[in-house]
């Protein structure tokens, strides 16, 4: 029988990096797809990078993701030593007091939207090496960002489904 009364621990840097790279990779892929789709609808398909370019720009994007993860982890530790608020949130979810369908509705919307902007900024910054990034207009980026909200909601539903099926969040 599992001991469920053990106190949650503060997430390690490896966990911060793994989660950031996992979701950053998922949202990079959905963002590139949505940028391509929005470009086809608004600009006649000007943003249509090759698979090789997508992978090369992802390499730069991954460096940005790692930097963000380390900065966020450091800021979180400075603002909440011991990660007490995060531990309380985990305990609330495990106790069945989290959102019932989404892991975080507002977080899902923000994640889908802002990851597209981050992806577009990475492409724009690398447009000297990969010219597809120079084809991104503000209207294409914003339309793609709104489309990618669906990916954020889908990811949250998926995690919620995993929690539901695994029994996390059921009241004892």
What's residue 135's pLDDT?
Answer: 84
Tell me the pLDDT band of 1, cut-offs 50, 70 and 90. Answer: very low
Q: Domain limits of the chain?
A: 13-166
Distances in Å between the Cα of 46 and the Cα atoms of 27, 33, 75, 133, 143 are 21, 13, 38, 9, 15
Q: What is the tens place of the pLDDT at every residue in 30-52?
A: 999 999 999 999 978 789 999 99
Question: If 0-12 CB within 10 Å is exposed, 13-18 middle and 19+ buried, where does residue 34 land?
Answer: buried
Over residues 153-169, mean pLDDT: 74
**d(C-alpha 114, C-alpha 165), whole Å:** 29
Residues shown for the chain: 172
What's residue 162's pLDDT?
Answer: 75
What's residue 99's pLDDT?
Answer: 57
Mean pLDDT of the chain: 83
What's residue 80's pLDDT?
Answer: 80
Residue 5 pLDDT greater than 60, yes or no: no
Is the pLDDT higher at 99 or at 149?
Answer: 149
83-87, 125-129, 131-135: the lowest-pLDDT one? 83-87
Q: What is the tens place of the pLDDT at every residue in 63-103?
A: 999 998 899 888 888 888 777 777 777 677 666 665 555 55
């Amino acid at each position: 029988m599992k001991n469920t009364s053990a106190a949650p621990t503060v997430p390690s840097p490896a966990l911060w990096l793994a989660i950031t790279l996992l979701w950053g990779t998922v949202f990079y892929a959905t963002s590139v797809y949505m940028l391509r789709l929005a470009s086809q609808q608004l600009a006649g398909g000007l943003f249509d990078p090759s698979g090789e370019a997508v992978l090369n720009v992802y390499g730069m994007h991954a460096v940005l993701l790692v930097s963000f993860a380390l900065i966020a982890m450091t800021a979180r530790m400075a603002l909440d030593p011991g990660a007490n608020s995060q531990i309380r949130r985990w305990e609330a979810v495990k106790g069945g007091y989290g959102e019932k369908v989404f892991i975080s509705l507002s977080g899902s919307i923000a994640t889908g939207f802002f990851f597209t902007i981050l992806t577009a900024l990475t492409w724009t910054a690398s447009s000297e090496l990969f010219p597809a990034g120079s084809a991104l207009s503000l209207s294409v980026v914003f339309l793609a960002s709104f489309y990618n909200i669906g990916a954020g909601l889908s990811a949250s539903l998926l995690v919620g489904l995993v929690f539901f099926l695994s029994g996390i969040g059921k009241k004892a």
